[in-house]
Structure 1
């Protein structure tokens, strides 16, 4: 009988570490107080196994975030139909990924999430807006996207009413933004 392959062992190690990290997060253990030895013990593996696979304890969380971002980018390859579709797409993808997002926040990987979302937004705007408008819109859509993702962390009940509420808010923000831009261009 054959033993597990290297890939299977690596996957088991990854899952054991992620499970241990999530247990520490749920126990309100500060991330910056974790030790490799403590995580290894909780995961049922050796410290050397962790060091062999990962540079830091944030690396497995970062890998999971990168994987989810690739899935999100693939899901959003087609243009959004309207603001409701934009909000729905973000929330329907990220709300089920709350456990990962909680790990991201706990491990203080918010800047990585922001950079990933910023790159996603910038990629979506290439060829769709004038280069002079792109920086403002990248900032705007990045902040809106991050706000939706963070708000999705707090959703405890059904997501449908939350999507409607967030869509209406996004539409008001967009309309107000257009009004401000139109007023400022007439002042000059």
Structure 2
């Protein structure tokens, strides 16, 4: 009985580890200042495959939402921040794919509010098929040391960011400017409002 128990336990542990694996990894987040003070946020993603037991094909991950949260300090004494959020949806990625998602903050907003290129806080939330993945270290600024601070930041950005809604834009909504260095774009699902 013991000789059968250990292989079964090993197989079970292996399948649990597979399900715990994140389908989409945030490899890096970078900010650049562009011409006319526009700010570019670049998010590098990689696909590790689909760990879902009911996946149509384990080599493909679909319905990937990437939501960016930014906070720039407005008043240091009062510890007040301006929050910006935006979301893009990737239709599909294949195992081994490396794709980049870009968001842009208009130069006149950066100029008006004297924003530095790098925000004081940022976080990139990734969800697959409506299920948020676990927070990843590479997806957040180094001054977010734990989940409590992360949850507080996301909550404040969601509740206090209404004044700046739609100002941070995904790449496919930006036109008429130099987009900077752009590469490895995924196929986006656009849900623009139609008349």
Answer whether TM exceeds 0.5 for this pair: no
Larger radius of gyration: 1
Larger RCO, structures 1/2 (Cα 8 Å, 6+ apart) = 2
**TM-score scaled to structure 2, two decimals?**
0.28
Q: Which has the higher helix share?
A: 1
